[in-house]
Amino acid sequence: MKIIMLGAPGAGKGTQAKMIAEKYGIPHISTGDIFRANIKNGTELGKEAKTYMDKGLLVPDELTVKLLLDRVAQKDCGNGYVLDGFPRTIPQAEVLDKALSGLGDRIDYAINVDVPDENIINRMSGRRACLSCGATYHLVHIPPKKEGICDNCGQPLVLRDDDKPETVKNRLQVYHEQTQPLIDFYTAKGVLKTVDGTQDMQDVFAAITAILD
């Protein structure tokens, strides 16, 4: 079961991806994690990605897909995987599609977690992140045990610049321009499924599992 998660930043697709991974025993794969792992392990692809990242440039689509294919070829992806945060654009989707076709493989489901912009702006202003270990929280939905402190490593939590209302509005604009067309792309392939992301987290998950089961 190969799944792609779609949805605007802050729609909750990352949380749902983790829950899907846990329930079905498949890895939750984000490109950020892949980049970090390859750079940490000093792989050739990691070194190549780092040259772009060090200059503040985006890693080219072809290289990202190479890193991704390297990851999904690993043993733990035998029963499938959940991709979170990739593809973000039509060119990325086409490169991924072509690469998977070459392996006689394809994406089974593209799950779109649909949330109106207004809800997202309100939701993201409640997010807090640990810059030390990468854990994320929400003041209402997933609060830390101790206010302002990470449960995992005890470091202070911050409101990232990414989650500030003015930044969120800009990110949503970019999303609608670049990523929204993916909905049409995967609809045309007959694999798109949309769930109402404004519901309670568990209700969203129930809607997703109803599709996957």
CATH code, 66: 3.40.50.300
Instruction: Please compute the mean of the pLDDT values over residues 184-195 and round it to a whole number.
Output: 96
Give a yes or no: residue 158 inside a domain. no
Give a yes or no: residue 99 inside a domain. yes
Give a yes or no: residue 17 inside a domain. yes
Q: Which of 67-81, 181-195, 199-213 has the lowest mean pLDDT?
A: 67-81
Give a yes or no: residue 123 inside a domain. no
What is the structure's pLDDT at 2?
95
What is the structure's pLDDT at 203?
97
What is the structure's pLDDT at 171?
85
- In this prediction, residue 178 has a pLDDT band, given cuts at 50, 70 and 90, of confident
From the candidates 2, 71, 123, 127, which is the catalytic residue?
127
Give a yes or no: residue 110 inside a domain. yes
**Is pLDDT larger for residue 209 or for residue 104?**
209
With 90 as the cut, is the pLDDT of residue 163 above it? no
Tell me, yes or no, if 145 is annotated catalytic: no
The DSSP code for 58 is P
Is this model's pTM higher than 0.95 or not?
no
From the candidates 2, 71, 88, 123, which is the catalytic residue?
88
Number of domains in the chain: 1
- In this prediction, residue 110 has a pLDDT band, given cuts at 50, 70 and 90, of very high
Structural domain harbouring 44: 2-116+191-212
Report how far residue 71's alpha carbon sits from residue 74's, in angstroms, rounded to the nearest whole number. 6
Tell me, yes or no, if 66 is annotated catalytic: no
From the candidates 36, 50, 160, 164, which is the catalytic residue?
160
Quick one: which H or E segment has residue 111? strand 109-114
From the candidates 2, 13, 123, 128, which is the catalytic residue?
13
User: What pLDDT, in 10s, does the model give residues 15-62?
Assistant: 999 999 999 999 999 888 898 899 999 999 999 999 988 888 888 888
Give a yes or no: residue 125 inside a domain. no
User: What pLDDT, in 10s, does the model give residues 61-97?
Assistant: 889 988 998 898 899 998 999 999 889 889 889 989 9
End-to-end CA, the chain: 11
What is the structure's pLDDT at 4?
96
CA atoms within 13 A on the CB side of 172: 19
Tell me, yes or no, if 160 is annotated catalytic: yes
From the candidates 18, 36, 50, 171, which is the catalytic residue?
171
Give a yes or no: residue 20 inside a domain. yes
